[in-house]
């Protein structure tokens, strides 16, 4: 809830920091559906168009509810690769066909991490998502397979 209420503030703060070093444009966006895998969709918070950081648009994922999502490392902090936010940004990059994204945690301070797309990770998770879609979502949509007996 906090993250949703402060998303615009976090985006503005990120934009201030990033435009101090680069010329870029941040634009809002809606739902993206992957053309090859239409059962995969994502709604990034915004798209960043930066000629220096990437030739293509980068997904910009803002979050505030960061409890447990960051790990301390010898050189600072990083997004926990086992956290749901990592899965989320990887899926968003796959769906939007981006090679990198900025993951931002905003509170009194701001944490920004550029995360690259991991093809091997996506290949494995895509299989799991497709299986879930075929075995759970489709049966539920077509015949209320799981919820028919709940009434």
Q: Are residues 100 and 143 in the same domain?
A: no
* Cα dihedral 5, 32, 129, 77 sign: negative
Q: What is the pLDDT of residues 27-45, one digit of tens each?
A: 778 888 888 888 788 888 8
CA distance 102 to 57: 11
pLDDT tier for residue 127 given thresholds of 50, 70 and 90? very high
Residue 102 and residue 134 in one domain: no
Q: Could you tell me whether strands 76-79 and 70-73 are parallel, antiparallel, or unpaired per DSSP bridges?
A: antiparallel
Task: Using the predicted structure, report yes or no on whether residue 114 has a pLDDT greater than 90.
Answer: yes
- Rounded Cα–Cα distance for residues 4 and 141 (Å): 29
Q: In the chain, how many domains are there?
A: 2
Here the CATH number for the domain that contains residue 18 is: 3.90.320.10
Same domain, 136 and 97: no
Do 13 and 87 belong together in one domain? yes
Is it the case that residue 90 has pLDDT exceeding 80? yes
Q: What percent of the chain is modeled with pLDDT above 90?
A: 26
The Cβ of residue 18 has, within 10 Å, a number of other Cβ atoms equal to 19
Segments forming the whole domain that contains residue 130: 124-150
Question: What is the reported pLDDT for 132?
Answer: 92
């Amino acid at each position: 809830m906090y993250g949703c209420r402060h998303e615009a503030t976090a985006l503005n703060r990120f934009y201030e920091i990033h435009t101090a070093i680069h010329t870029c444009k941040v634009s809002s966006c809606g739902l993206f559906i992957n053309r090859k895998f239409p059962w995969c969709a994502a709604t990034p918070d915004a798209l960043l168009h930066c000629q220096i950081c990437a030739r293509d648009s980068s997904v910009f994922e803002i979050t505030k509810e960061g409890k447990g999502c960051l790990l301390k490392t010898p050189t600072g902090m990083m997004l926990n690769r086992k956290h749901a936010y990592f899965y989320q940004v990887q899926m968003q990059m796959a769906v939007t066909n981006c090679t990198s994204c900025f993951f931002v945690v905003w509170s009194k301070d701001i944490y920004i991490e550029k995360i690259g797309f991991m093809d091997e990770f996506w290949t494995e998770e895509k299989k799991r998502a497709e299986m879930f879609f075929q075995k759970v979502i489709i049966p539920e949509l077509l015949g209320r397979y799981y919820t028919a007996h709940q009434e």
